[in-house]
Amino acid sequence: MREIEALRQMRTALAEQEHPDRLAMRAGWRPGGPAPRARRGWRLPVAGLLATATVAAGSAAVLSLTPDEDAGTGAPQPGDVLLVAATNALKARTGKYWHTRRIDGTIYAVGRTAADHYKIEARQGYETWVDPAGRGYPSSDDLPARPWTPEDMRKWRKAGAPSQVQIPSGDGSAPITLFMKPSPAQGRKFSKGWHSGSRFYNLPIARLAQLPTEPKALENALLDLRGDWHAYSKQATEEPLRALRGPERVRALSDVLGDLLARQPAPARVRAAAFRLLAGLPGVRAEGRAADPLGRTGTVVSLPLETTIPLGVFSAPKQLGTYRRQWIIDPGTGTLLAIRDLVARPPHGSRALPPGDDGRPRRLTVATQPDRFHKPGEVAAYEVFEAAGWTDTAPN
């Protein structure tokens, strides 16, 4: 099916589905459109579409596959959005610590069939303080999993509101149990306290202050960062980012920039340059506005990804779908609100994996994927920053 896969990589920008309301509106008033007779025949239902939608909202399925409701054909360039963010990042007040409170979520399907399943979000909380000298105070917080949408909540309750659910492990090994209620260990933040010598990849944190403040020069500096930049490789390879080419380099750079913007105590001018650099990465595009998992609205830029699995961790490919990563940004404050991954093409096919720890052969199949019942445009995972900014308040 290689030629079908190749076709699917073609004209992907045109493959995006638009919101039906927007389509209906364009079909309704677009001048020079279809034959007047056809137009007349259609006018009646179009006029009633919004009313129908309102009535249908309670009972019928509402289809929305693109998160942005505003981006028309004259969508802004990512540069426009991020330029504003960059400018406003310069105005942010500074403080003793860069403080982040974030939740990482992964959306898992519970159930056997597309028709009969519900989705839950597995969540992990993190709170971190780090100062420009590289002293850091990380803490983590096990959060209970919970149904993802009100509809999923309804189905979970209908299933008897189980306090723990089993989900496939992703690679065919034993299923994983997720707890839907706080366990005794949960709700208590875990931390080992302060430590020094934090690093940003191989770069000591203190060196962040010396990073270039012009996008091209910043890119050049980041290309010197060393790490394992592969989504999977048989052996751990450490190399400069510069050694990568094409989409692999873009993916790695976007990871680095997301990390720099969200989590690192970088000076305002470096952050501003990072926004501009992100805007200029090949494939990054503006997508209008969307709400993050905490309901805060921001401006979206996105990048298509072959895989979203963290770089440098796995020895074999662990996903069967393709994805689109979105950065949701508050341009007004120049802060990153969230990073999330949408399913572009749901998992399909299967793939042989190298033997696992027990030496038995493994195979990656759709049935084991957390996003096996996702539709294009649905959220597979997110990282939402409840707080990401300077503070003078130390952890207590």
Partner 1 sequence: MPMARAVSQTGEAPDDAKLVAASLDDPEAFGELFRRHAPRLHAYIKRRLGLPLADDLVSEAFAIAFRRRARYDGRAEFGAWLWGIAGTLIARHHRQESRMYRAYARTGVDPAEEGLAEAAGDRLAAAALGPALARALASLNAKDRDAVLLLAWGELSYAEIAAVLDLPLGTVKAKIHRARAKLRKALPEENDDA
Tokens (6 digits) for 162: 């189980």
Min separation Cβ 153 and partner 1, Å: 12
- Residue 167 in contact with residue 175, Cβ under 8 Å? yes
Shortest reach from residue 140's CB to partner 1, in Å: 24
CB of 365 to partner 1, least distance (A): 13
User: Min. distance of Cβ 146 from partner 1 in angstroms?
Assistant: 13
Which DSSP helix (H) or strand (E) runs through 279?
helix 268-280
Measured from the CB of residue 1, what is the shortest distance to partner 1 in angstroms? 8
Q: How far is the CB of 136 from partner 1 (least distance, A)?
A: 31
| Closest to partner 1 by CB, 149 or 166 | 149
Nearest to 253 by CA among 315, 323, 206, 305: 305
* 75: Cα separation from own chain's centroid: 21
* Rounded Cα–Cα distance for residues 323 and 321 (Å): 7
Nearer to partner 1, 5 or 214 (CB): 5
Output 213 or 326, the one with its CB closest to partner 1. 326
* Closest CA relative to residue 202, chosen from 238, 233, 230: 238
Task: Report, in Å, the least distance between residue 258 CB and partner 1.
Answer: 17
Locus of tokens 């300077």: 390
Nearer to partner 1, 127 or 287 (CB): 287
Residue 256 CA to residue 274 CA, distance in Å, equals 10
> Amino acid letter at 7?
L
| Closer CB to partner 1, 62 or 161, in the complex | 62
Rounded to whole angstroms, how far apart are CA atoms 203 and 154?
Answer: 48
Alpha helices in 30-77 (DSSP H): 36-47, 49-59
Question: Of 38 and 394, which has the nearer Cβ to partner 1?
Answer: 38
The Cα 353–Cα 295 span in angstroms is 38
Give the residue with the Cβ less far from partner 1, 41 or 361: 41
User: Dihedral of CA 353/357/361/362: which sign?
Assistant: negative
